[in-house]
Structure 1
Amino acid sequence: RYRTQREAVADLFEYIEVFYNRSRRHSSLGFVSATQFMQDWVVAQRTRDAAA
């Protein structure tokens, strides 16, 4: 139980932004998580730079 509404909102915001949105699959990202999309992007950039 939360002591204040602000405490509850902060906890909910943290869950949504830190956990849920980073782990859920996004259709706009090709149905991969934001974390996986970023990891794939970094690898692609390094591969591109190494080939240049």
Structure 2
Amino acid sequence: QGTQYRSEEVMAWLNGREVTISMSRRGNCWDNACAESFFALLKKEWTKPLGTIERSDMGDEVRYYIDEFYPKMRRHM
């Protein structure tokens, strides 16, 4: 709900990359609970134990976590 998302320049940049903007309702922290939980697990389980690594290697690790590890180890019913 920040003003940066109303900027024409920012909107053009996001639209050019086919990014869908999603903002929760004002004062409702639960709208984002699933994403917050996922990113907390990603950081705690995967990226923090890696320590300092190259940016490209971190990208590979995050892709592996999202595509391989998370769906198999954290299946949701």
Shorter-chain TM band: 0.3 to 0.5
TM-score normalized with structure 2 length = 0.28
TM-score normalized with structure 1 length = 0.38
More helix by share: 1
More strand by share: 1
* Higher Rg: 1
